[in-house]
Chain A
Amino acid sequence: DIQMTQSPSSLSASVGDRITITCRASQNIGNHLNWFRQKPGEGPKLLIYAASTLQTGVPSRFSGNGSGTEFTLSIIRVQPEDFATYFCQQSYSISPITFGQGTRLEIK
């Protein structure tokens, strides 16, 4: 299995801050990396796919970068609705598809 490791596991920020979350893959996955936001009680929402492509309808304050084994998700000017948990997911190998363990963004 391809292991996905996110860091940090949690972080605190204020509205308007810029934050960055890192996701590392246990092997080269090219750009086959997706990012999701999950609010409590809801299903995950796709934010970024193919490492850096913004999903339709997602605000431009979200951006993704990276390739190979190291990837980042950045949010500039964090908004109140962004306080949630973020997951990365590799789509390079389907056997199996794997997710990172999540990063919880909390209000400072």
Chain B
Amino acid sequence: QVQLQESGPGLVKPSETLSLTCTVSGGSISSSYWSWIRQAPGKGLEWIGCVYYSGRTDYNPSLKSRVTISVDTSKNQFSLKLSSVTAADTAVYYCARRIYDRSGSRFDSWGQGTRVTVSS
């Protein structure tokens, strides 16, 4: 059973870069797609983007200009960087595994989430 754990600062200043890491255990990161998803207070879920172990990425067009997702297979980790943050980026950030097979794709494993607040 693969497990995911988010880590990173809980407070980021406006205009700075939010950086989070997701550590994968119980399985290899060298398969599947690995994703970041966020949930603003009282709101629904917003997909940020995915990275494949090869480094190929897909991003939400609404965030694409500010997002970088990367993978480190040697550490079984993947990371999120979101630049030029504002209060609108305050949210709980989740990492998740996205698997893709003949039944389609789905997020089958999630981290517990980490709360990030953007404030000076």
Task: Please give the residue numbers on chain A whose beta carbons come within 8 Å of chain B beta carbons, in ascending order.
Answer: 31-32, 34, 36, 41-46, 49-50, 53, 55, 87, 89, 91, 94-102
Contacts and interface: CB of A to CB of B under 8 A. Distances in A.
A94 B111 CA distance: 21
A55 B46 CA distance: 22
Interface stretch (B12-20, B56-64, B74-82, B83-91): B56-64
Nearest to A31: B104
B13 to A, nearest CB: 26
B44 interface: yes
Interface majority SS (helix, strand, loop, mixed), chain A: loop
Q: Which of A45, A55, A89, A96 has the most CB of B within 10 A?
A: A96
19 contacts: A32-B105, A34-B107, A42-B113, A43-B94, A43-B112, A44-B110, A49-B104, A49-B108, A50-B104, A55-B106, A87-B45, A91-B105, A94-B50, A95-B61, A96-B61, A97-B47, A97-B60, A98-B47, A100-B44
Size band of the interface chain B makes with A: 20 to 34
Interface majority SS (helix, strand, loop, mixed), chain B: strand
A9 to B, nearest CB: 10
A53 to B, nearest CB: 6
Closest 4 CB pairs of A and B: A43-B110, A97-B47, A96-B60, A49-B106
